[in-house]
Amino acid sequence: MSDLDNMLDYLLDVARGDMPGPIGMLKAPDEKGPLGEYLIKYVLDNMIATTGYPTYTNLIVPNPNSLAHTAEIDVLLLTIKGIFVFESKNYAGWIFGSDGQRQWTASLAKDKRERFYNPVMQNREHVRALAAYLGLHESAFRSYIVFSKRSVLKEVPADTSEYCVCQRPSLRSRLRNDLRAREALFSDEHFRSLKARLDVLAAASGEGAREEHVEQVREAMRTCPLCGKPLVERHRKSDGGAFIGCSGYPRCRYTRAAW
């Protein structure tokens, strides 16, 4: 493409709300990774500006049983219809991968290949940690694997109800269709409590995260996401296996796996 084509392409993106204007781009981070996340967030914020749905970037999600093991979520969108979790991938070239393969490939030329961890699996782990933290079933989430414009999705899995692998330019229309097709999942009250729990994570995820914020996350992990009572370890009658349950049982039936 010529420079003029590139420029027209960019201006069209700006007009559609897919890219920030020149001023907004000045504020964009200059490394590739953060830029992808910034652009995803830009598209989302543009789309949902009137809804009051919050977006979060670079959320550190603890493994419920150990703060040492964490997942980092690139971008998250909380809506009343579910939670959208975005994994940004900035590889250029031809992208090959399937649902079950551990490694995917970005191929720039015959002898120039890069392998990377299957992003569908990667984001599945993020969703799993987040589902436990928020006390939600994994079906309340939708995973988006978003590749940059510079890639060609040669062989990637087709959409499922769990995930969608796409390129950033199609993100807006995909998400809009997705939101249209879904029913409301959370009451206003539930939405507010989920937001409060995500806000705690966001406060503890920043670079200068203070110990008190991390302590708030630990505290949140020790309490039931449904009713706020302390969580306790329990054992199944059938096989003695351990799980985490709410001390408010039987009134509150929240449980999650102990892992």
In the complex with Zn ion, the residue whose CB is nearer, 169 or 248, is 248
The nearest distance, CB 244 to Zn ion, in angstroms, is 11
Distance CA 96, CA 73 (A): 23
Residue from 252, 255, 258, 259 binding Zn ion (CB under 5 A)? 252
In the complex with Zn ion, the residue whose CB is nearer, 17 or 248, is 248
Give the angle subtended at the CA of 85 by the CAs of 84 and 90, to the nearest 5°: 130
Distance CA 73, CA 129 (A): 10
Q: Give the dihedral of Cα atoms 204, 252, 193, 126; nearest 10 deg.
A: 50
In the complex with Zn ion, the residue whose CB is nearer, 46 or 255, is 255
The nearest distance, CB 220 to Zn ion, in angstroms, is 13
Residue from 94, 96, 116, 254 binding Zn ion (CB under 5 A)? 254
DSSP string, 138-162: GGGEEEEEEE-TTEEEEE-PPP-SS
255: contact with Zn ion by CB under 5 A: no
The nearest distance, CB 256 to Zn ion, in angstroms, is 11
Residue from 17, 93, 157, 248 binding Zn ion (CB under 5 A)? 248
35: contact with Zn ion by CB under 5 A: no
Q: Which stretch binds Zn ion (CB under 5 A): 72-80, 124-132, 157-165, 240-248?
A: 240-248
Binders of Zn ion in range 206-225 (CB under 5 A)? 224
Residue from 166, 194, 220, 246 binding Zn ion (CB under 5 A)? 246
- 130 burial class (0-12, 13-18, 19+ CB within 10 angstroms)? buried
Encoding tokens for residue 145? 């694997």
Residue from 227, 234, 258, 259 binding Zn ion (CB under 5 A)? 227
The nearest distance, CB 184 to Zn ion, in angstroms, is 23
Q: How many helices (H) and strands (E) does the chain have?
A: 7, 12
**# chain residues binding Zn ion, by CB under 5 A:** 8
Element (H, E) at 58: strand 55-63
